[in-house]
């Protein structure tokens, strides 16, 4: 099923930035839109979001009550003139479809932000692992809302009641699927910044599963939501994940605009670093705007996610700009060497 475009598009305006929403088990596009308090409806009220981001909802078949064998038989029957029913497929299969949709749809986009709820977060992680490098570099941020990174205990009860539900089997606590996914994602060298949310009232995904071990305070959000209320933006002023998303969206646009006007190839650069940006995000945006590529060697996830102090930067070229960033990090121990090979930059952590 293709990405569903839910943008307030003005004429033939071309967007550089996209937000993709991915629902969870038993969800649909209605999980994100339709109601005045939904994520999509609330974001549409933000003029700066409408002016800079195109919104998409990725929808896939995911129903808890699926009539197994007969459902699949029915889906294959040629009902004249009627839409055929769909049936659930594995998280891995859905992730492959998401990765393909991103590859086909977002070739001209510079920045992609993904907001994922519950099982949708596992789909996104698997898709990121499967993505081609050129697509992965565009994914700058993932907002993880009540995602069972280590599975959910209720999934075990669900499989006992409903039998071999293909998605519930993957969602069981510490299943082979979630264990493999956690390992592969943790060892992925080039991945986007992830902000993790956990709700104190969530009786489906506990804190230990929603926020993996080692996530620092800057990249975790603890709220009083239950598993589903986190998707309700009835009060934007008090909805911490929504406010953090807005902050990150504005920072990406601000930095991109400054770079577009001041960074041309190897020319001098001058720009203000917005609050809330990480070392990895800024380094990628600097090199991308200069039509170059970048890789990171020897960094931990925490070191790449370290914040950069909000400050004006002046540098004679991209190389000098990347060098300067290490002296603006909020963690003084983060130091690296910058290597250049043609139009490719490499940051090597802790050089001898």
pLDDT digits 0-9 by tens, 176-216: 888 999 899 988 877 888 999 999 999 889 999 999 988 88
- In this structure, what are the phi and psi dihedrals at residue 36, rounded to the nearest 5 degrees? -65, -25
- Bridge-partner residues for 344, per DSSP? 293, 341
Q: Determine the pLDDT at residue 125.
A: 96
Helix (H, G, I), strand (E, B) or coil at 193: strand
Q: What distance in Å separates the CA atoms of residue 266 and residue 342, rounded to the nearest whole number?
A: 12
Q: What distance in Å separates the CA atoms of residue 131 and residue 124, rounded to the nearest whole number?
A: 10
- In this structure, what are the phi and psi dihedrals at residue 182, rounded to the nearest 5 degrees? -60, -45
Q: Say how many CA atoms lie within 13 Å of 345 toward its Cβ.
A: 25
Q: Yes or no: say if 193 and 281 are a contact pair by the CB < 8 Å rule.
A: yes
Domains present along the chain, CATH in parentheses: 3-231 (3.40.50.1820), 261-349 (3.55.50)
Q: Determine the pLDDT at residue 15.
A: 84
Q: What distance in Å separates the CA atoms of residue 180 and residue 160, rounded to the nearest whole number?
A: 23
Report the candidate in 141, 311, 95, 138 with the shortest Cα–Cα distance to residue 241. Answer: 141
What mean pLDDT is predicted for residues 284-289? Answer: 81
Task: Note the maximum CA span of the chain.
Answer: 70
Q: What distance in Å separates the CA atoms of residue 187 and residue 211, rounded to the nearest whole number?
A: 17
Q: Determine the pLDDT at residue 300.
A: 87
Task: Give the tens place of pLDDT for each residue, 18-55.
Answer: 999 999 988 889 999 877 889 999 998 998 898 899 99
Do strands 53-58 and 111-117 pair parallel, antiparallel, or not at all (unpaired)?
unpaired
Q: Yes or no: say if 291 and 341 are a contact pair by the CB < 8 Å rule.
A: no
pLDDT > 80? residue 303? yes
- Least-confidence region, from 40-44, 57-61, 219-223, 339-343: 339-343
Q: Determine the pLDDT at residue 263.
A: 42
Q: Yes or no: say if 340 and 319 are a contact pair by the CB < 8 Å rule.
A: yes
Q: Determine the pLDDT at residue 246.
A: 93
- CA 35 to chain CA centroid, Å, is 23
Q: Strand order of the sheet with strand 293-297?
A: 293-297, 344-349, 336-341
Tell me the average pLDDT of the chain.
81
First-to-last alpha carbon distance for the chain, in angstroms, is 50
pLDDT > 70? residue 69? no
Q: Determine the pLDDT at residue 234.
A: 93
pLDDT > 60? residue 65? no
The 10 Å Cβ neighbour count of residue 8 is: 15
Q: Exposure of 247 by Cβ count < 10 A (0-12 exposed, 13-18 middle, 19+ buried)?
A: middle
C-alpha distances in angstroms, 301 versus 215, 258, 305? Answer: 9, 27, 6
Q: What distance in Å separates the CA atoms of residue 242 and residue 224, rounded to the nearest whole number?
A: 14
b/e string for 193-226 if b means 16 or more Cβ within 10 A?
bbbbbbbeebebbbeebbbbeebeeebbbebebe
C-alpha distances in angstroms, 333 versus 28, 148, 295, 302? Answer: 44, 32, 20, 12
Task: Give the tens place of pLDDT for each residue, 222-265.
Answer: 999 999 999 999 999 999 999 999 989 988 887 666 555 444 44
Q: What distance in Å separates the CA atoms of residue 243 and residue 235, rounded to the nearest whole number?
A: 11
Q: What distance in Å separates the CA atoms of residue 173 and residue 175, rounded to the nearest whole number?
A: 5
The 10 Å Cβ neighbour count of residue 327 is: 12
């Amino acid at each position: 099923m293709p990405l569903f475009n839910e943008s307030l598009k003005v004429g033939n305006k071309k967007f550089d930035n996209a937000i993709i929403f991915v629902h969870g088990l038993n969800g649909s596009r209605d999980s994100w839109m339709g109601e005045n308090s939904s994520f999509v409806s609330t974001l549409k009220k933000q003029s700066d979001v409408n002016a800079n981001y195109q919104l998409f909802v990725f929808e896939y078949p995911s129903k808890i009550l699926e009539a197994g064998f007969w459902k699949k038989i029915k889906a294959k029957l040629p009902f004249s003139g009627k839409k055929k029913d769909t049936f659930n497929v594995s998280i891995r299969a859905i992730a492959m479809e998401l990765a393909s949709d991103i590859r086909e749809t977002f070739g001209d986009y510079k920045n992609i932000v993904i907001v994922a709820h519950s099982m949708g977060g596992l789909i996104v992680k698997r898709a990121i692992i499967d993505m081609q490098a050129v697509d992965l570099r565009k994914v700058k941020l993932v907002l993880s809302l009540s995602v069972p990174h280590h599975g959910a205990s209720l999934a075990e009860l669900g499989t006992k009641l409903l039998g071999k539900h293909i998605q519930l089997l993957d969602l069981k606590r510490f299943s082979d699927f979630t264990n493999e996914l956690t390992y592969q994602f943790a060892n992925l060298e080039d991945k986007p910044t992830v902000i993790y949310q956990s709700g104190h009232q969530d009786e489906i995904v506990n804190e230990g599963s929603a926020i993996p071990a080692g996530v620092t305070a800057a990249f975790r959000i603890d709220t009083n939501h239950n598993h589903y209320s986190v998707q309700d933006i009835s009060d934007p002023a008090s909805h911490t994940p929504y406010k953090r998303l807005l902050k990150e969206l504005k920072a990406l646009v601000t930095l991109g605009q400054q770079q577009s006007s001041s960074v041309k190839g190897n020319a001098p650069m001058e720009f203000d670093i917005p609050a809330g940006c990480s070392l990895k995000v800024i380094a990628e945006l600097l090199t991308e705007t200069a039509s170059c590529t970048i890789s990171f060697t020897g960094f931990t996830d925490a070191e790449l996610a370290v914040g950069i102090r909000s400050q004006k930067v002046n540098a004679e070229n991209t190389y000098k700009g990347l060098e300067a960033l290490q002296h603006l990090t909020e963690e003084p121990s983060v130091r690296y060497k910058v290597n250049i090979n043609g139009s490719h930059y490499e940051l090597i952590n802790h050089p001898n």
